[in-house]
Amino acid sequence: MAAAAPPPPPTPAPEAPTGLPDSDSIPVGHPLFSRIRLATPADVPHIHKMIHQMAIFERLADHCIATESSLSSTLFNHAPFSSFTVFLLEVSPNPLPKITSPNFTPIERIVQLDLPVIDPEAELFKNGTNDVVVAGFVLFFPNYSTFLAKPGLYVEDLFVRECYRRKGMGKMLLSAVAAQAVKMGYGRVEWVVLDWNVNAIKFYEEMGAKILTEWRICRLTGEALEAYRDTF
């Protein structure tokens, strides 16, 4: 009688997944590495260019008289969050270099896109020696609510450059301001929106904001303001 055949060798146990693609696989999508950080005086040239682009978009270019010099002399005279503060949005197709700040921990996100972003102004908004570019900003400062008896934050400007819109960047910027308000124990965040900008209105409502249509903006500026110079 023939001897019995030896048992087959045991099947190797499957390896646990690492969450990383195989080295020879093709990545799905196009990651856009994004970061929100505190702006510094060195960022003024980029901020100035974006303010000008925002004025054109809002059909108010004839009202925009800001210069790099006037921004430099007024924006960074106080500690962050105690007065005018600017969050800057930077993006790159590659991982961003690490940075630190004593006043604010940068917020980093990776946005997966179906197609790469074609930025026709990448060289104009290039920030540093790598492929990092400035994509947007938000400028805000403290105000106060007597009804709540709490300070709040007022958003003066929120802007994302055109090729980076509809990718969650505006939500990222506004969420950073709202999160900072909560962190500081503030009662609310407020801003205004042009009545014809229906896309922005819808976006703000989707973020949970209430549009206060019963209120109107009152403003003294230019000659009307100067008329009060020698009142007292």
Report, as residue numbers or ranges, the catalytic residues: 204
What separation in angstroms does the CA of 39 have from each of 72, 86, 149, 184? 12, 5, 29, 19
Nearest to 158 by CA among 184, 186, 191: 191
* Contact call for residues 193 and 212 (beta carbons, < 8 A): no
The string of DSSP letters for 100-167 reads --SS-PPEEEEEEESS----TTTTTTB-SSSS-EEEEEEEEEEEEETTTTEEEEEEEEEEE-GGGTTS
* Cα gap 90→119, rounded to integer Å: 13
